[in-house]
Chains A and B, each alone.
Chain A
């Protein structure tokens, strides 16, 4: 089967050159407070944000919504996409009242067997979260969605 006839092959080819624009994420103290309340987290002590904000800043600050990235690649985001795995490496704590720069790239697009869907597309994005020119976190996340039929 040629790449042109194979939906995942076509999408994979697109992913290689797919450009996700850089973006920014503004992390305010009030947002940190709200997120902490929403997930029953301990109150903030000082300027450090909840560590989940490395993930939130990465996804929320990327230059496109994750759904639009998936749709742009021809993937079935609206058929029940879920987060499959993620890895966060922290280079420095994230602080509140800080603007973060987010750079994102497509790392991999793979089709795999799925107990739930029969076949599923796994899109892995890699992000860096920086502030003031200094790296704060590196995030890699994989979104899984049913393969289009």
Chain B
């Protein structure tokens, strides 16, 4: 088994508006620190979940340039806030097409887990039922 890593020292608050506009997501926690704080997330905006997932895909793309992603199965179990540093880590299975990834907020708090399969991988094994369980 081999491993991959990817890091972003500080999640930019200003990028969240672009993601919200593109996603059609009008959830105020992503763009208004006061709204995020009022709802218990703390005094910083909350990074959209798909952005966090993009970080894990970045890691896979850098580890396997040109590979096609076949399947992503992800459980979002925590939040990333503006200014957080994030660290992605992935463990590749022996078939070389399946990577079990996770995204952690410093210092080591995991907020996202995903199994990512790339080309030549078989379909995800769980037929949509999920390979991770999560309870928020």
Contacts and interface: CB of A to CB of B under 8 A. Distances in A.
Interface of A: 31, 34-35, 38-42, 45, 50-52, 55-56, 59-60, 62, 65-67, 77-90, 93, 112-117, 120, 140, 144
A59 B64 CA distance: 27
A120 B135 CA distance: 10
Main secondary structure of the interface of A (DSSP, over half): mixed
Interface string B21-49: 01111111100000000011100001011
A56 B40 contact: no
Interface residues of B, number: 48
B74 A87 contact: yes
Nearest to A37: B15
A86 B132 CA distance: 11
B12 A112 contact: no
A59 B74 contact: no
Contacts of A117: 136
B60 to A, nearest CB: 8
